[in-house]
Amino acid sequence: MAAALAAVALLGYAVLRPGAPAPMSVALARGQRPPAPDFRLPHFTGGTLTLSDLRGRTVVLNFWASWCTPCRDEMPLLQRAWRTYGGRGVTVVGINIHDRETDARRVLVQTGIGYPSVRDPDGRVGRLYGITGLPETFFISRTGRVTGRFPGAVVEWEVWQEAVERLLANQGQQ
């Protein structure tokens, strides 16, 4: 029992010690706008996508997997956001995580997704963002700061629309 309490105390200190970066969800809850971790991942259509290459654009970053039904439920709304806001500097990026490439490709074809999708097969980028489950979406300002997140599926267009409009409206403050 004492060893378990010591381990919990040590873990708590490691996470909450002064000067330690807060996990993404904690930083956002505190009103902070942490820098978005950069990544380079393979694109399903060949080549790679690097987040830093999108600097100057607003990014909606969605983590998903083929076996995740709520992820597939969200995809039409992400596609709609891509079509609706792409001309206003918004890029939607799907990050497929912990999945078989053939299964992920099948979902992309079945859903007709046109926004860029990349693979994070070992979950390294998901860990950088501190994802807590799938789907999970992060909103990134054109200056590269994470300004918000949806932990879980959001299947109402009005909620997506409001989040992207708010992100675009607040660009000068981030």
User: What's the one-letter identity of residue 113?
Assistant: I
**Higher local confidence (pLDDT), 64 or 12:** 64
pLDDT tens per residue, range 34-70: 999 999 999 999 999 999 999 999 999 999 999 999 9
Domain segments of the chain as ranges: 23-173
pLDDT tens per residue, range 75-89: 999 999 999 999 999
CATH architecture of 23-173: 3-Layer(aba) Sandwich (3.40)
Strands 117-120, 90-97: parallel, antiparallel or unpaired by DSSP? parallel
Q: What is the pLDDT of residue 172?
A: 55
Burial letters for 92-122: b for 16+ Cβ neighbours within 10 Å, e otherwise?
Answer: bbbbbbebeeeebbebbeeeebebbbbbbee
The pTM of this model reads 0.86
Share of the chain above pLDDT 70, in %: 86
Q: What is the mean pLDDT of the chain?
A: 88
